Amino acid sequence: MSDAPYILVVDDDPAMLALHEVTLRGAGYASKCVLNGTDALADVEWCRPDVVILDINMPGMDGLEVLARIRERFTMLELPVVMVTGRVEPEYMIDALGSGANDYVLKAAPREVLLAKLRIQLELIKQVGAPSRRPAEMEVAEQDARFCAGFLTVVPKSVNHCPDCNAPMPSPGWPGIAGSSYGWLGRTLSGKYKLDRFLGRGIAAQVYRARDIRLDRLLAVKLVDYRTSDFASLVNRERLEAEALAMAKIESPHVVKIVEVLELRDGMFALVMDFVRGQTLRQLLGASRPSYDETLDLGIQIARGLAAAHAVGLVHRDVKPANVMVSELEGGGRFAHLVDFGIVRPAAGDPVSTRFVVGTPTYMSPEQACGLDEVDGRLDQYSLGCLMYEMVCGRPPFDDHDPNVVLRRQVLEQPKPMGKYRRGVPEALESLVARMLEKRAEERFATLEIFIRQAIAEHEKRHD
């Protein structure tokens, strides 16, 4: 891993950013340049610079507001901030220093002045032993790293076409990763997993495709900062590794395997998983509705994955289209893979204690919506029923822009018959889904194995 200090530069002037980049690179620093406060805070959260260089006058969120947001999380020794601005008025300097800036430099000052100020801050960090803000297992990407804006894939600077989507290089050249919203692209975790494509982002997580440098295979890496989520008090490396160990015992090809758990820093982890080629069920449903046979087939596959997880004491608790990957089989047909299991693993033989409401309201069981302390695999069954209902009808049983309304309807209302939204729904399919959507858990199938047997029998009957 590179030992060069990592400097984040925030300024809305591209010319000034270019000047900073040249200056910092010439001094041997790794740097990233962003044009606004929102991207700056994202980089601070995910990439942990050693020092931030921050302008004051910026549209939207100005530098003083960015500084205040940084100081809510980090002390002056944990993350030094040097204001570099054209504001010469004393009141600006007083406001900045009073708000927690470590130093104040005018843009008109010689570049050597800024470099001297940076050296002072880095030396202070070293002398007091303040922890590096950069993750221990993260390597800074190459300074000239580029990416394809259409496919969000790392592209070598000299390559004329994107290696993934074959798009031609735009006339200005490939955009640089520095200054983009995809700051982890091109970085390497633990010296072996190089992140080469951005796949998606959630509230507390980002997902990247990665290449295992040693074994030359593709993997998926989910970067999770649990301090930004409700799970903050529940997660540590030991708990995640215990869950990974439990998931490794799941005997099902319909569950994506966790390869390794990396602790990047306190509260932030990387979950390295098998990479699935294909699309999410959400993307599939956005393009078309599956046939009745396809709905049964995919429902059976997802149920098999869930049943295998239940057998080793894991409950998913967030079954939804975005957490099902669907790949196309060479001989025809589709294959479903469950991803993104929850973080709370129950003791063997005990029910799961959720401690708070976990899940997505549109697919959440009544017992989850009510915040019940003890739940079991039948809540996953209800969520699968919601998912199959949507595959048939093109809409979930209950939906509303207000999640609280959805939760109340999950508890109090019966879903409309699927025949209301689509003609010719097989009676047996309607009956299977209706039972999975019973409000009382004891009125659903006792286990998903029972559902699987009945669904297979119906599937075979339709093909006799």
- Of the candidates 51, 71, 54, 70, the residue with the CA atom closest to the CA atom of residue 6: 51
DSSP string, 80-94: -EEEEES---HHHHH
Type of residue numbered 242: A
Among 11, 43, 297, 318, which one carries the catalytic annotation? 318
Distance CA 377, CA 380 (A): 5
Residue 198 bridge partners (DSSP): 208
161: Cβ contacts below 8 Å, ≥ 6 apart: 167, 168, 169
Per-residue b/e over 374-409, b at no fewer than 16 CB within 10 Å? ebbbbbbbbbbbbbbbbbbbeebbbeeeeeeebbeb
Distance CA 119, CA 209 (A): 36
Tokens standing for residue 389: 């209902």
**Count of all residues that appear for the chain in the document:** 464
Q: Active-site residue 274, yes or no?
A: no
DSSP character for 180? S
CA dist 8 → 21, 57, 208, 399 (Å): 10, 17, 22, 42
Distance CA 400, CA 81 (A): 43
Q: Which residues are tagged catalytic? A: 318
